[in-house]
C-alpha cells in the first residue's frame, strides 16, 4: 500500500477514529482536571518525515515529546509532541500552579514530567482504543518515555533506536480546551505503524489497497 496516496475515504476513516479517540480522551481529561474539557481533531493527515519536522517547527525547535511503543498485533510507535510553551500551559492548567516550569535551573520539575506523561497516557490510550475497536486488532501502549530536546534529535534518535523504516506517519492534530481557560492547547499526535502494520490496519478497516 502506498500510504502517501491515501484516498479521501481512507482519510475520513482515520479522522473518524481520531474524533472518537478525542472524545474518550476528553472524558478522561475532564476527570483529571475536575472540569469540562473539550478536545477537537481539526485534521488527520499522512505526512513524510520532513513534513513531520515542518509541522513541529523544524529540527532545531525545542520540544517535549512523550514516546510510546505500540505493542500487540500491529506494532508501531507513537509520539505526542508539544512545544515547551504548550506543555507548560498544560501543566499549569492541570496542577493549578503557575510556577512549575520545564526550563528551571534545577531541571524539569518531577511533577511536571509526571503530568505530561499522564496526559500522554490518556491521549495515546484513547486513540489506540478507538483504533483497536474499529479494526478488532489488539494494540496497547508501552510505558511512556519523556524527552525534551531539539525535534531533530528526538525524532531521529527515537526512530533509529526502534529500527523504524517507514517514511510516513499519521498525524492527528489535537486541540485541548477547558472552561477555565481562554486559550486552547495545540499538540501533534504522530502515529507511526510499522510498515506491515499499515497494510494490516487498513485491511481490517475494509479499505482495499489503492496501488
Tens of pLDDT, residue by residue over 113-143, are: 898 999 899 989 999 999 999 899 999 999 9
Judged by average pLDDT, the poorest of 25-29, 70-74, 99-103 is 99-103
* pLDDT value of residue 129: 93
| Integer Cα distance of 48 and 52 in angstroms | 6
* pLDDT value of residue 18: 87
* pLDDT value of residue 211: 47
| Integer Cα distance of 197 and 202 in angstroms | 9
* pLDDT value of residue 193: 83
pLDDT top residue among 50 and 159: 50
Give the global pTM: 0.84
Contacts of residue 125, Cβ cutoff 8 Å, sequence gap at least 6: 25, 28, 141
* pLDDT value of residue 138: 96
Q: Is the pLDDT of residue 43 over 90?
A: no
* pLDDT value of residue 161: 56
Q: Is the pLDDT of residue 163 over 60?
A: no
Do the beta carbons of residue 45 and residue 25 sit within 8 Å?
no
Output the average pLDDT for the chain.
83
* pLDDT value of residue 5: 63
* pLDDT value of residue 196: 82
* pLDDT value of residue 1: 55
Do the beta carbons of residue 64 and residue 82 sit within 8 Å?
yes
pLDDT band at 209 (very low <50, low <70, confident <90, very high): low
* pLDDT value of residue 82: 92
Structural domains in the chain plus CATH codes: 8-205 (3.40.1550.10)
* pLDDT value of residue 166: 62
Q: Is the pLDDT of residue 44 over 80?
A: yes
pLDDT band at 182 (very low <50, low <70, confident <90, very high): low
Determine how many CB atoms are found less than 10 A away from the CB of residue 29.
Answer: 25
CA 125 distance to own-chain centroid: 10
Amino acid at each position: 500500500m502506498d500510504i502517501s496516496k491515501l484516498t479521501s475515504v481512507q482519510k475520513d476513516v482515520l479522522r473518524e477514529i481520531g474524533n472518537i479517540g478525542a472524545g474518550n480522551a476528553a472524558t478522561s481529561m475532564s476527570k483529571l482536571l475536575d472540569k469540562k474539557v473539550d478536545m477537537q481533531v481539526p485534521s488527520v493527515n499522512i505526512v513524510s518525515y520532513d513534513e513531520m519536522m515542518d509541522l513541529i517547527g523544524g529540527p532545531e525547535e525545542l520540544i517535549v515529546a512523550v514516546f510510546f511503543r505500540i505493542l500487540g498485533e500491529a506494532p508501531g510507535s507513537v509520539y505526542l509532541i508539544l512545544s515547551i510553551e504548550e506543555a507548560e500551559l498544560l501543566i499549569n492548567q492541570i496542577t493549578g500552579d503557575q510556577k512549575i516550569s520545564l526550563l528551571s535551573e534545577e531541571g524539569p520539575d518531577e511533577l511536571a514530567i509526571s503530568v505530561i506523561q499522564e496526559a500522554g497516557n490518556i491521549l495515546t490510550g484513547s486513540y489506540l482504543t478507538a483504533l483497536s475497536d474499529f479494526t478488532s486488532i489488539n494494540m496497547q501502549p508501552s510505558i511512556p518515555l519523556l524527552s525534551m530536546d531539539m525535534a531533530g534529535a528526538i525524532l531521529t534518535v527515537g526512530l533509529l533506536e526502534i529500527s523504524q523504516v517507514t517514511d510516513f506517519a499519521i498525524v492527528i492534530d489535537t486541540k485541548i480546551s477547558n472552561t477555565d481557560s481562554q486559550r486552547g492547547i495545540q499538540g501533534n499526535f504522530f502515529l507511526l505503524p510499522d510498515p506491515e502494520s499499515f497494510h494490516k490496519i487498513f485491511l481490517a478497516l475494509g479499505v482495499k489497497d489503492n496501488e
